[in-house]
Amino acid sequence: MVAFVVAIDGPAASGKGTLARRLAERFGLAHLDTGKLYRATGFLVLEAGDDPADPVAATAAARRIDPARLANPGLLNEAVASASSIVAAIPAVREALLSFQRQFAANPPARSEATEPRGVEPRGAVLDGRDIGTAVCPDAAVKLFVTASPEARARRRLRELRERGATAIYGDVLQDMKERDARDSLRRVAPLAAAPDAVIIDTTLLDADQVFEQASEIIARALAARRQPSGEYP
Ligand code: CDP
């Protein structure tokens, strides 16, 4: 049976990462934060002193990343975030990172216990990013597009940065984020976009728990529909 895939896309600091992690835990699914692949690529380019806009250097970096080392805290800073969106606009970089993402979705690593009772489920995965529902996993069982106003997202990113001890100014964070969103939305290949069949969740006025509950209901319904033998209705 094909793996149960949840695709979560959205702009920077929309809350999709936290949501994806929590959903994966609740439903016993594996989780891949695909932004980390682009961040790792940007990180390697900067580390080598190369230009993130150089397709040769960026593609070589994308081929060198080690998916086992995506927890590197060095990936979280804003210089790496900017570099990641520059390398992400290069078609050969996206191509180099695609098969790992598709493999992960098709054969998700087994996960320990779900907090939600599930019965016997097929394996599944939550992938979050910019193009999961449109390009990486167009057949995902559930597609969510999580968004919020730029100001709300900049406030959240500022809080995250300060919690990690970084010094950051609201105006700079907002400006950097707007630039990155524009680059992500306007690029030629796999731009940031909601798939036509995605459920759009605007989190501007919602807290993380409310978003989690909304998304959990959507996933629970999709899992129930999958368990239902075809042709039968509850
Ligand atoms: O955490 P945040 O939302 O700020 O960004 P991220 O998800 O870590 O992604 C960093 C950058 O990687 C984005 O700005 C995109 O340029 C790129 N990215 C992408 O192009 N496609 C994806 N599926 C995921 C990330």
Domain locations in the chain as residue ranges: 4-226
* pLDDT attached to residue 117: 59
Whether residue 176 has its Cβ less than 6 Å from ligand 1:
no
7: helix, strand or coil = strand
Would you place residue 6 in the very low, low, confident or very high pLDDT band (cuts 50, 70, 90)? very high
Mutate to test the pocket of ligand 1, among 21, 37, 38 (most ligand atoms within 8 A of CB): 38
3-state secondary structure 90-143: CHHHHHHHHHHHHHHHHCCCCCCCCCCCCCCCCCEEEEEECCHHHHHCCCCCEE
Q: 137, 142, 134, 146: which is closest to 190 by C-alpha?
A: 134
From 120-129, 137-146, 205-214, 215-224, the region with the lowest mean pLDDT: 120-129
Strand partners, 4: 124
Report whether residue 180 contacts ligand 1, using a CB cutoff of 6 Å. Answer: yes
- With 60 as the cut, is the pLDDT of residue 232 above it? no
Ligand 1 atom closest to the Cα of residue 85 is: 16
Would you say the CB of residue 17 lies under 6 angstroms from ligand 1? Answer: yes
**2 has pLDDT over 90:** no
137 in Cβ contact with 5 (< 8 Å): yes
Task: Find out whether the beta carbon of 192 lies less than 6 Å from any atom of ligand 1.
Answer: no
Token pair of 230, please? 């075809």
Q: What is the pTM of this model?
A: 0.93
Quote the percentage of the chain above a pLDDT of 70.
93
Q: What are the tens digits of pLDDT across the range 120-152?
A: 456 899 999 999 999 999 999 999 999 999 999
Residue among 6, 12, 5 at smallest CA distance from 176: 12
Q: Is 88 in the pocket of ligand 1 (CB under 6 A)?
A: yes
- What architecture is domain 4-226? 3-Layer(aba) Sandwich (3.40)
